[in-house]
Amino acid sequence: MRLALYVGVLSIAIAPAFAQSQLGTGAISGVVQDASSGVVTGAEVTITNAETGLVRKMVSGAGGQFNAPVLPPGSYQLRVSHPGFSTLEQKDIVVNVGSTATVVAALQVGGVAETVTVQATAIIDTAKTDESNLIDRKSIQDLPINGRRYYDFALLSAGVTRDARLGLLSFRGSSGSFNNYMVEGNDDNDAYFSENRGRYRTPSTLSANAVQEFQVGKGAYAAEVGRASGGSVNMVLRSGGNNLHGDGFYYYRDQDFGARDPLAALKPPERRQQLGGSIAGPIRSNKIFYFVNYDQQIRNFPLVIADLNNVLDSGKPTLPANPTPAQQSAYDADLKAFTAGSAFLKSKFPEGQPGTQQSRTLSNNLVLGKVDYLIDSSNTLSTFFNYLRSSYSRLRTSGDRNLTPSIPRNSLVGDANYKLDLRVARDIRVTERMRVELLIEGFNVFNRSNYNGFGTTLYTAAAPAATTLRRSS
């Protein structure tokens, strides 16, 4: 058994408020105008998250502009007030990961006590410069998928297909090793192979049921999203809110429900079960929220070992009618050689002959917990912990030995994020993001003989740190 542990890494990235990082977050920006489309300066703007009660307050600048960066994806309400104008309320403003919802707040002349309520329509992200598209929660929940890898839904995007070598995501025909994966703004890449963490060896490393949405970047994306010559996947997890929510799922697949492959001589046994669910709600209303998700996959697909064409028994030498002594002697020698060769090949099959089944199973267990804490209107704390245990058995051979190892893999990953807005000076705003990650991985091999040739390589990665200050209005 080999066990490796690494603790990595603590990294801090500071980004500006107006050109903020959109990793795991979104933004709302806009301009306040009067009925003649003139800008309104000094208007009080309040943005409220409909699910959690998160509140951001600001004042429109000299050009009537306002900006609320680093917002968790969700539905928001906008409230704008200014002396001499009726108060404007706009509901159902949807903020998606990696994008900015642009709003034009048109105030009408009237008393502040008067309120004009409007419903948000489809909002165009006028700040968008990249080539990307969104896979939202409805698509993840409703569309069928073979397996539980959430990022496979990226195949719905134009220009995205399977990598021909390993079946990873390929953007515009590039290798699957050239992509960048992020979870809640944190690095989720395998640093050694330059692929998504878990690669193709585990059915999934994060439950699709725990994913809120993700952005698929195909080109011209921002530097903090890129770090790759292929594509990017910018994913955000689900969170709790003021209302209690729960869901569950169970998928079952059996060989009895499917037809035999027309190119196959038999229909091998196959049974898959995928089950799980989540619960989310408030610990303290408008303050602390939780989200817990469980995901399990069970698969039983024994390896069928068969001589489909009967090549081990057919092809025997034939003896002509009325053979001569020489022909009889040659036939006897050929038959002896054929019988010996066939017996030798059969001895290499498990159980010493074809027509048997070797047990082969797979189990994948995922538990994710997330807590969001709204400290105040300027500071929030979000942390999640993901537990993965994936194990599978498969047939392995080494020399004259038949091996059926079980290879458990344990992976514990924890991420802590907090956003801290500080008014350092009148015209400078600093947004700070911190990441702490703990990863524990272990591999071991058990089999029927002394097999010591299964090695393990582990690796570490650290996200780059950067500091940026930008003047704001």
Count CB atoms within 10 A of the CB of residue 88. 22
What's the pLDDT band for 406 if we cut at 50, 70, 90?
very low
Structure-model confidence comparison of residues 164 and 55, the more confident one:
55
In 96-241, which residue ranges form alpha helices assigned H by DSSP? 137-142
Please give the share of the chain, as a percent, with pLDDT higher than 90: 36
Question: Is there a cis peptide before residue 413, judged by omega within 30 degrees of 0?
Answer: no
Domain boundary among 288, 320, 354: 354
Q: Which residues have C-beta within 8 Å of that of residue 239, sequence separation ≥ 6?
A: 51, 52, 72, 212, 280, 289, 291, 370, 372, 382
**Integer Cα distance of 161 and 152 in angstroms:** 9
Is the residue at 282 inside a domain? no
Is the residue at 177 inside a domain? no
In 305-447, which residue ranges form alpha helices assigned H by DSSP? 325-347
Q: With 50 as the cut, is the pLDDT of residue 443 above it?
A: no
Q: Give residue-wise pLDDT tens across range 199-251.
A: 777 788 889 999 999 999 988 877 777 678 889 999 999 999 999 999 999 99
**Integer Cα distance of 91 and 117 in angstroms:** 8
CA 148 to chain centre: 10
Is the residue at 341 inside a domain? yes
Q: With 80 as the cut, is the pLDDT of residue 337 above it?
A: yes
What's the pLDDT band for 378 if we cut at 50, 70, 90?
confident
Reduced to 3 states, what is the DSSP secondary structure of residue 302?
Answer: coil
Residues 428-436, mean pLDDT to the nearest whole number: 37
Which of 9, 5, 253, 249 has its CA nearest to residue 142?
Answer: 249
Q: With 80 as the cut, is the pLDDT of residue 87 above it?
A: yes
Structure-model confidence comparison of residues 357 and 124, the more confident one:
357
411 beta partners: 388, 441
Domains in the chain: how many in total?
2
Q: Give residue-wise pLDDT tens across range 3-32.
A: 333 333 333 333 333 344 567 888 999 999
Is the residue at 104 inside a domain? yes
Is the residue at 100 inside a domain? yes
Domain that includes residue 328, residue range: 307-354
Is the residue at 401 inside a domain? no
Is the residue at 174 inside a domain? no
Q: Give residue-wise pLDDT tens across range 26-52.
A: 899 999 999 899 999 999 999 999 999
Q: Give residue-wise pLDDT tens across range 274-324.
A: 999 999 999 999 999 999 999 999 998 887 777 877 888 888 888 888 889
Q: So what's the pLDDT on residue 449?
A: 30
Q: So what's the pLDDT on residue 376?
A: 82
CA 328 to chain centre: 69
Is the residue at 413 inside a domain? no
- Most confident segment among 106-115, 150-159, 448-457: 150-159
- CATH number (domain holding residue 83): 2.60.40.1120
Domain boundary among 60, 95, 119: 119
Q: So what's the pLDDT on residue 112?
A: 60
Domain boundary among 119, 136, 151: 119
Tally of helices (H runs) and strands (E runs) in the chain: 2, 30
Please give the share of the chain, as a percent, with pLDDT higher than 70: 75
pTM: 0.76
Strand intervals (E) in 23-73: 26-33, 44-49, 55-59, 65-71
Residue-averaged pLDDT of the chain: 76
